[in-house]
Amino acid sequence: MASPNELYSIGESGSGNPVNKLNGPPGPTNGYSPVENMKRYMESLPQDFTFKEELCNQHFWKAVRTEFLATLLLTVLGCGSCLRWKAPPTDQITAAAVELRVALAFGLAVTTLVQCVGQVSGGHMNPAVTIALLVTRHISLTRSAAYVAAQCLGGLAGAGILYGLTPQGQRPNAGLGATEPAVGVAASEAFGIEFLASVVVVITVLSNMDPHRTDMGFRALSIGFSYVVGHLLAFPYTGASFNPARSFGPAIVTHTWRLLWVYCVGPVLGGIIGVVTYDYTQETHAQQVLRRSFRKKNGNTVINRDLSALSNNETELTLDHCRL
């Protein structure tokens, strides 16, 4: 299996630019078919730990459990602020107050949970964030699959808990935070809003993970603010999700399936574009500052705690060697 360190290394010419050994020498073709290129790319994912080794790692399962619990709490706290116990407000002032309440509830919930669990799992709580980090090879395929499954199950469990806590007479109209485009909003428009909000969220997460950026304050709070801003933009259009797990749970419990794909595909694509945009617009990434996670030290099973944004074994949200 190709080692990620062999595929991406700093050039010897002193330029500091990474040499990509995956694609071979420059030219119109590297001699491999598209299928072989894809196979080589999959093999280049940070899998220094084998599938079995990672599944047998105690901290791996602790991180997966943490993602489940954090997403569950996010769904309860955030979607709980969306409960419709009364008729929808008709005046603009009351409607704006509801939007602000929901935006602050999600933003403060994300801030609190990232601060609590960022040192354990990275505090993703969002499949769009996890898949974006997988595409740029910051986490392994095994861990990303386990995270996404835990996040979706956490969203489902959170929606179930919220349903159980809602007074029985209010359950048919409570909504439980299920997301649907507003009346008159087309699927393409809803998709665009979810896409743009997800770009902002993922870029904010990446910027706070970058260990070579100047620390400008409380990083968990800035991530939470990105959710607040996204909600203020998206709530009148789509109900503001940009988190497939957060939409998945309430949709299952309330049987709300209308345009659910918008809330799954839009955030995932937005996250991918966001993380690629960050990689290609930040100067530090040209020098391989955000080093890939899950490294072994000199082929041994000892973990090398490097300067990666998501640290090797612990997938922490860190700055150098310091936790949040």
pLDDT value of position 260:
93
Tokens at residue 66, please? 């943490």
Share of the chain above pLDDT 70, in %: 71
Burial 184-203 (b: 16+ CB within 10 A, else e): ebeeeebbbbbbbbbbbbbb
Alpha-carbon gap, residue 58 to 48, rounded angstroms: 17
**Phi–psi pair at 303, nearest 5 degrees:** -80, 130
With a CB cutoff of 8 Å and minimum separation 6, the contacts of 112 are: 220, 224
Q: Which of these ranges, 21-35, 69-83, 124-138, 302-316, has the smallest mean pLDDT?
A: 302-316
Contact 61, 69 (CB under 8 A): no
pLDDT in tens, 267-281: 999 999 999 898 888
Q: Which of 144, 120, 126, 151 is nearest to 317 (CA)?
A: 120
In this predicted structure, the answer to whether residue 225 has a pLDDT above a threshold of 80 is: yes
pLDDT 10s digits, 90-101 = 666 677 888 899
Query: By mean pLDDT, which of 54-68, 74-88, 95-109, 125-139 is the weakest?
Result: 74-88
Domains and CATH numbers, the chain: 34-84+93-286 (1.20.1080.10)
